[in-house]
A and B are shown apart, each in its own frame.
Chain A
Amino acid sequence: MKLVSLQVRNLRGIEDRVFDFRDDIGLIRDRIPIVGPNATGKTTILDAIVFCLLPLSSSTQRAEPMVNGKLIREGADETTVRATVWLTEDEQTDSTGPNLLEIEWTFPDPDGISAGGAYQVAPEICVNSKNRSSVILFEQERTGKSGQRTLDDKSSLARLSELYARICAPHAIVNAPTPVAVKELRFHTPTGTCFWDGLSTGERILVELLLPFASGEIHSSIVLIDELELHLHPLWQDRLYSALLDLGTDNQIIFTTHSTHLRDTIRDPIYSTTGEFITAR
């Protein structure tokens, strides 16, 4: 599943904005950077995607705490998000159907009958079930508290080690028998060996980001990452950006960033939350 376009109306600070995620030859972009100053709507765009594409129960869970904090733009009565998504043949419930689907989310529910207060018009899209497409959000408030997680098999640990080394070399994960709790993993650094608790904040947040990819949980998904560069040195920012499309198979990564270093590295067109939203390179 990939997001083709998105229209956001009256959501928090955004009045009406349309984003087209296709490139100059009609391909849907796999890596979408969103930049802009604070409070111009970067996180709101990620929220809009969550509201619209996750099943109503999940999106309501996320939207509810925001209702009192101006979920709807001041002066408007309702907020709407419309998305066009592309599904592979495997992802369609009816393989002969169209592979472009329109989905709409409105708050509040105009008929007032939805339990969560929002209303979603969506064909039956495949989300959040095993081996199916999904929308994954890595929030800005990532805390690096994944030490409780367990890596169940050798291949997950090997994959985590590979991804970690790709971004953090010469730092590396010391091999261990599986299943193993992340907090019991040993990490080799230029200054010695340490456990999870001894890692820097940047390293922990990075491992937290890599874990679900290493466990093979995220493929053919729309992955939303708020502030990709969080706590990372520019060199590791570069490496993470280069590795994004190799974290899983056929993912579409949509991320925000404040890092000027990353902005200089990015070759993909950048979507800005201010003024003209595309800076073509």
Chain B
Amino acid sequence: MDELWLVCEGEPDSVDAAVLKPIFANVLETNITVVAGSSSPANSARFLQNFRGGKVAYVLDRDYRSGLDAEAAFIDGTNGFLWRRHSIENYLLAPHVVLLAFERLRQRFVQQFAHRLPAWVAAFPTDCATIETGLRECAERRAPEEACRMCIQRLWEDLSSTTGRIQRRVPMASEPQNRQSWRDALVSESQRLRIAADGTLTSTHLSDEAITNQFDRILDQISFESYFESLRFLVDFHGRDLLTEFLLWLERRGIRLSYSRLINELIEVLPSAYSQNRALYGTDDFLDLANGVRAWAGLTPLK
């Protein structure tokens, strides 16, 4: 059987790889080797395929692309996949995962410090509801910036593929020995550049009114109470930034953890939280990713 690889984003110690390795190896028990492909998993996958052979797929952050894009990537028959959530950090912020991480930390403090617990340990959240409230507060604070980012993503999707990206070309003369022929070629090329620039300038999407209307529309959409209530922002918002905001929320409660410490604690408990409840995210994204990779490699799905 060919070796089966999945290249994810980030450096060798990336969060993506740290999350995926134990889930694939221990929870799903699939022999997909996870490696990190820096900022270019697709190129790394191609390199790995040529260098090592086997079957190499890759997975990218969904970022601000739509959920439909992620679903399409599961069935388009290529070796490229997208996370259903914005990025891997969004999976770490599931309230149950956060709760497990703090329960584990508290146990270690209680064990090692017994009756002399540091005061800030008392501030650890002790239930999912408190964590959800904290996450909603964080999402509300971040909503305007997230709306702006979503807006700029829509803008690029709405613009034509050539807008703002004028291809460089070397002019070609019809009569290479003729001076006038080269002058005409240059004029023709500069006209092409002007037309392309005019296309950008006159795009209705780029007017002040259009872009601010779009922003307002998106901000309204992500400010509905139901949007916060359902924790939908855990799918759409920028995971790392939401995590940073959550860290500040913890800090305001008196909990002193560094970003890397918090993320490591979450990574540590995620496989356990996921194996206890495979419906943790509504859809079983890790299983679907593993099965997507296996299907692409011609293997039967895991159950």
Residues of chain A having any CB pair with chain B under 8 Å: 2, 23-28, 30, 86, 88-89, 99, 166, 169-170, 234-235, 238-239, 242-243, 250, 264-268, 280-281
Stretch in contact with the other chain, from B109-117, B125-133, B136-144, B282-290: B109-117
CB–CB A281/B260 < 8 A? yes
B176 within 8 A of A: no
What residues of chain A lie closer than 8 Å to B48, measured between beta carbons? none
B108 interfacial contact with A, CB 8 Å: yes
Residue of A nearest to B27 (CB): A242
Known: A24-B261, A238-B21, A242-B271. 19 other contacts (CB 8 A): A24-B258, A25-B261, A27-B109, A170-B29, A235-B25, A235-B31, A235-B33, A238-B22, A239-B25, A242-B21, A242-B22, A242-B26, A243-B26, A264-B12, A265-B17, A266-B13, A267-B264, A267-B267, A268-B264
A26 near B111: Cβ-Cβ < 8 Å: no
Interfacial residues, chain B to chain A (CB-CB below 8 A): 12-13, 17-18, 21-22, 25-26, 29, 31, 33, 36, 105, 108-109, 111-112, 114, 118, 256-258, 260-261, 264, 267-268, 271
Nearest 5 pairs between A and B by C-beta?
A: A264-B12, A242-B22, A169-B29, A239-B25, A238-B25
Given known pairs A250-B111, A264-B13, the reply for A25 and B257 (CB within 8 Å) is: yes
B111/A88 in contact, CB under 8 A: yes
Within the complex, the shortest CB–CB distance from A52 to chain B, in Å, comes to 21
Q: Roughly how many angstroms separate A239 CA and B260 CA in the complex, as a whole number?
A: 22
| Chain B residue at smallest Cβ distance from A86 | B112
The interface residues of chain A lying within 8 Å CB-to-CB of B105 are: 27
Chain B: CB-nearest residue to A242: B22
By beta carbon, the residue of chain B nearest A165 is B29
- A28–B109 Cα distance when bound, in Å, is 9
Give CA–CA (A23, B257) in the complex, Å. Answer: 11
Who on chain A is nearest to B108 by CB? A27
Chain A residue, CB-CB nearest to B12? A264
A8 to B13, CA, bound (A): 30
If over half of B's interface residues share one DSSP class (helix, strand or loop), that class is named, otherwise mixed; here it is helix
**In the complex, which of the residues B18, B109, B112 contacts A267, with contact meaning CB atoms closer than 8 Å?**
B18
Q: Is the CB of A242 within 8 A of B260?
A: no
B37 → chain A closest CB, angstroms: 13
Q: Is B25 in contact with A242, judged by CB distance below 8 angstroms?
A: yes
For residue B112, which residues in chain A have a CB less than 8 angstroms away from its CB? 2, 27-28, 86
For residue A24, which residues in chain B have a CB less than 8 angstroms away from its CB? 258, 261
Partner of B17, one of A88, A243, A250, A264: A264
CB distance from A170 to the nearest CB of B (A): 7
Smallest CB-CB separation from A27: which chain B residue? B108
Question: Would A281 and B13 count as touching, CB distance under 8 A?
Answer: yes
**CB nearest to B118 among chain A residues:** A26
A267-B13 in contact given A25-B257, A27-B108, A242-B22 (Cβ < 8 Å): yes
A126–B280 Cα distance when bound, in Å, is 43
**Given contact pairs A25-B257, A234-B33, A267-B13, A281 touches B264 in the complex (Cβ within 8 A):** yes
Specify which chain B residues have a CB less than 8 angstroms from the CB of A267 in the assembled complex: 13, 18, 264, 267-268
Q: Which residues of B contact A238 (CB under 8 A)?
A: 21-22, 25
A99 contacts across to B, CB distance below 8 A:
114
Instruction: Quote the shortest CB–CB distance from B250 to chain A (angstroms).
Output: 12
Question: Complex Cα distance A250/B261, Å?
Answer: 21
B144: shortest Cβ distance to chain A, in Å?
Answer: 33
The complex places the Cα of A99 from the Cα of B105 at a distance, in Å, of 20
Asked whether, in the complex, the Cβ of A89 is within 8 Å of the Cβ of B114, the reply is: yes
**Which residues of chain A are near B21, meaning CB under 8 Å?**
238, 242, 265
Closest chain-B Cβ to A50's Cβ sits at a distance in Å of 23
A25, A166, A170 pick with most chain B CB within 10 angstroms: A25
| Complex-state Cα separation, A88 to B110, whole angstroms | 11
CB distance from B234 to the nearest CB of A (A): 22
CA gap between A89 and B109 in the complex, in Å: 14
Contact partners of A280 in chain B: CB under 8 A: 260
Q: Name which residue of chain B comes closest to A279, CB basis.
A: B13
> How far does the Cβ of B272 sit from chain A's closest Cβ, in whole Å?
10
A281 to B263, CA, bound (A): 10
The chain B residue with its CB closest to the CB of A190 is B1
Cβ–Cβ < 8 Å partners of B111 in chain A = 88, 250
Q: Which residues of A contact B114 (CB under 8 A)?
A: 89, 99
Interchain CA distance A99-B271 in the complex, whole Å: 33
> Would you give the shortest CB distance from B49 to chain A, in whole angstroms?
18
Closest Cβ of chain A: how far from B117's Cβ, in Å?
11
B271 to chain A minimum Cβ distance, whole angstroms, is 7
User: Which A residues lie within 8 Å of B268 (CB)?
Assistant: 267
Q: Considering the chains assembled together, what is the distance between the CA atoms of A158 and B33 in angstroms?
A: 28
**A28 shortest CB reach to chain B, Å:** 6
Q: Provide a sorted-by-A list of 26 A–B residue pairs whose CB atoms are within 8 angstroms.
A: A2-B112, A24-B258, A25-B256, A25-B261, A27-B105, A27-B112, A30-B108, A86-B112, A89-B114, A99-B114, A169-B29, A170-B29, A234-B33, A235-B31, A238-B25, A239-B26, A242-B22, A242-B26, A250-B111, A264-B12, A264-B36, A265-B17, A265-B21, A267-B264, A267-B267, A280-B260
